[in-house]
Structure 1
């Protein structure tokens, strides 16, 4: 793995989690339970599971879940505990194909803040999880971020490629696949 991987991960965490003029801390919303007489009649589960509030991905997901999503060696990156970004970085299991690094994160951003930064969010039409979108990275590095918004912010997977110039569609498909896998393994967008 190149030495620039952890540096890019730290930079991505700082750049994607900071929003000018927004210093409001994330809150822990309590979703109203859906009215139903039995679980089979409920249109969506009422327990939000891990997605009820912002969380640290490496404290919630297991090594086995990250491996099932295709992630390999965990990368060491500096992190500020007071930051609004909670993240951890990984290499892919197939470093011969995927030369870049992945940042798995939660932050207080959302699709509208991404739009304000002119990072061109696009809904992911091929996603198995409704609401996933992708967007450009805030730096010159080639990469793509896939995210899913919640009331407190978003859960995202950033992929930055360090090798040859890659197709943007390919970079985004990799980010979406890993994000989908982690969401599905956790019981889905609405928890278990």
Structure 2
């Protein structure tokens, strides 16, 4: 069975530049191959502020939107997070989406593509890595970073030289780790071990 990798657009902000980048990353990933890739745009999910009363570790969800989010995230072997930098960190909408579920993230691989001003979103990516570690997500080392000033100088996203190779290198790492972690999840399922 082919690996399934979700590309998560981590901003819901009106006028966001991430949509253009996400479209390009998705096209690049599909051309690269190695997995089935799907875009997950947080703006298209009705999560709102975290409204579940219980601990997500127990998966006793009260709301339909949480159950739908749980089913969606459960179906992927790994992720690529497309994350902008807001005030030295990543957007609250992404943190909120991560917090809704827990076990659904466990023992999966992830890559991060950051974007932002001159720092190209790297501080957002570093903050995101801390949260993903707590969710038992294995983040890969390769981290494409996109400075928005030169890449959007015409108003449209124009990938810089070598960006496609950088994204493909990150995808190679994500798919390798995603494949390896399938075995970890299978072993955990067989033993019934808690995450």
TM-score scaled to structure 2, two decimals? 0.29
Higher helix share: 2
TM-score scaled to structure 1, two decimals? 0.29
